[in-house]
Amino acid sequence: MALEIVRTIVGLRARIAEWRVAGDTVGLVPTMGALHRGHASLVELSRRHCRRTVATLFVNPKQFGPREDFARYPRTEDNDRDVLAAAGADLVFAPPTDVVYPTGFATRVDVSGIGDILEGQVRPGFFAGVATVVAKLLLQALPDRAFFGEKDYQQLLVIRRLVKDLDIPVAIEGGPTIRDRDGLALSSRNAYLSAAERAQAPALHAALVRVATRFKDGVDPDVAGAEAKTELFATGFAFVDYLDVRDAETLAAIQPGHCPARVLGAARLGTTRLIDNVAV
């Protein structure tokens, strides 16, 4: 039997209410679809913590800039449903845009500070779009826990800040980044890469790992980052948005030897933008 799909908030809440009556715990896995093993791993993580798992499929227009890829973002709902069924989800919530943002919608959730740097600086409005839709999804479903990938490390921190600041009673859990064998982090946007670009793409992860090692060896983070940028350009990356070592909790700039640290990078291969990060 195909995995059940609901498209309205009333339908979502009705199903979750039944589970609550039965005493079941509920996990939520928000996604934009075009699912891969990274998303499936979050569903599996949710199943380990919660009796029931809801996955959401919604390509959120508010987190795309005017010159970004909203129109061409891959939409593969039938396949996504199969991936979610195989991973063991109990329900799919796939609302149309006007259910999430009906006429007159006017609220914007903006996490300042941690949402303004790195990705937030390169993609103005991106984290406000993410925070607005995640706040809505959390309040629509009111799960016990919600699961997000460390692949989008800054996003995970922004969401932790958001639920703390707005007293949303949901535990936020991070799941490890799932990679291809050559190190490239799985991403729905990898589908945009040509064969030649796909061969170059693992250089981003390799550069982050090298910076982490150099930093652990006591090298100045700016020096290690600058070396790695040069390597990425040599591999064929057209532009490096940032490649920085930061405090792992605040993402503030740090001195050599600081702990805990995280190396975060974003770079473009042709027209495709890749982001990744590694722990130090």
Residues near ligand AMP, by CB under 6 A: 31-32, 38-39, 41-42, 148-149, 151-152, 175, 177-178, 185-188
Pairing of strands 239-247, 261-269: antiparallel
Question: In whole angstroms, what is the distance from residue 142 CA to residue 144 CA?
Answer: 7
Q: Does 102 sit behind a cis peptide bond, omega within 30 degrees of 0 on the bond before it?
A: no
Q: Please, are residues 2 and 82 in contact by the beta-carbon 8 Å criterion? A: no
Two tokens, residue 100: 């999430």
CB neighbourhood size of 75 (10 A): 11
Q: Which of 39, 49, 205, 258 is catalytic?
A: 39
Q: How far is the CB of 180 from ligand AMP (least distance, A)?
A: 9
Taking the least distance from each CB to ligand AMP, the nearer of 186 and 211 is 186
Q: Please, are residues 53 and 30 in contact by the beta-carbon 8 Å criterion? A: no
Give yes or no: 39 in active site: yes
Distances (CA, A) of 55 to 46, 58, 248: 10, 10, 28
Helix (DSSP H) and strand (DSSP E) numbers for the chain: 10, 9
Taking the least distance from each CB to ligand AMP, the nearer of 64 and 148 is 148
Taking the least distance from each CB to ligand AMP, the nearer of 122 and 219 is 122
Taking the least distance from each CB to ligand AMP, the nearer of 214 and 273 is 273
What residue type is 131 in one-letter code? A
Known catalytic residues are 39
